[in-house]
Every structure is written in C-alpha cells, then in structure tokens.
Amino acid sequence: MSPPTIGIGTQKKARLQRLKDEVKRFVFANPGCSAQTIVAHLSHDKKLRNHGLTPRKIGFFIPRHLKSHLVWWQDHIAGRRVYGPDEYDESTA
C-alpha cells in the first residue's frame, strides 16, 4: 500500500472551476432550465462523465457554489426548481 500523497489539489480545483463555468454558461444561455436539463447537457453533450452528476447534486451545487451568479425559483406547473441568471450580477452588466 502506498503512502498517502500530499498535494495542493490542483486537479480537484480545476474540475470544480470547469464545472462552475459550464453550469453558468448553460444557464445563462438557457434561463429557466431545470437541474435535469443541466445534467443532460453536461454529461451527454459536454462529456463530463467522470463528475458523477445527478440532478440532486446540481441542486445542491448551485446554491453552494454559484449563489452570487444564479438564482432559482419554483416552477409551479412542473413542481420543480428552475434556474436562471441573477439580474443584479455585476459581471454581466
């Protein structure tokens, strides 16, 4: 058994940053999308298969990592959360 490796975690940070960028890019292009459509786009179209994405994970990921850029609201017809860009984001102005 090899000893535990000590590193600064650059690959983990790079994956997190790429996931943030891809989610923001998709939601800004398609406001009003659900977590299921985000996962379908990322895992099938963008081939981010090694992230293990599920709609539940995206639902926890967006409020935790992207709360300053994206907002969510309840779609009462379908009964699920939908996501869109924050109107008061300074980077888009």
Give the number of other Cβ atoms within 10 Å of residue 70's Cβ.
19
What pLDDT does residue 91 have? 47
Least confident interval from 16-25, 71-80, 81-90: 81-90
Query: Residue 1 — pLDDT band, cuts 50, 70, 90?
Result: low
Q: What is d(CA 23, CA 25) in angstroms, rounded to the nearest whole number?
A: 5
Q: Where along the chain do its domains lie?
A: 31-92
Task: Provide the pLDDT for residue 92.
Answer: 46
Q: Where are the alpha helices (DSSP H) in the chain?
A: 10-29, 35-40, 55-65
pLDDT of residue 4: 66
Q: How many helices (H) and strands (E) does the chain have?
A: 3, 3
Residue 89 has pLDDT above 50, yes or no: no
N-terminal to C-terminal alpha carbon distance within the chain: 53
Q: What is the pTM of this model?
A: 0.78
Cα 65 from chain centroid? 8
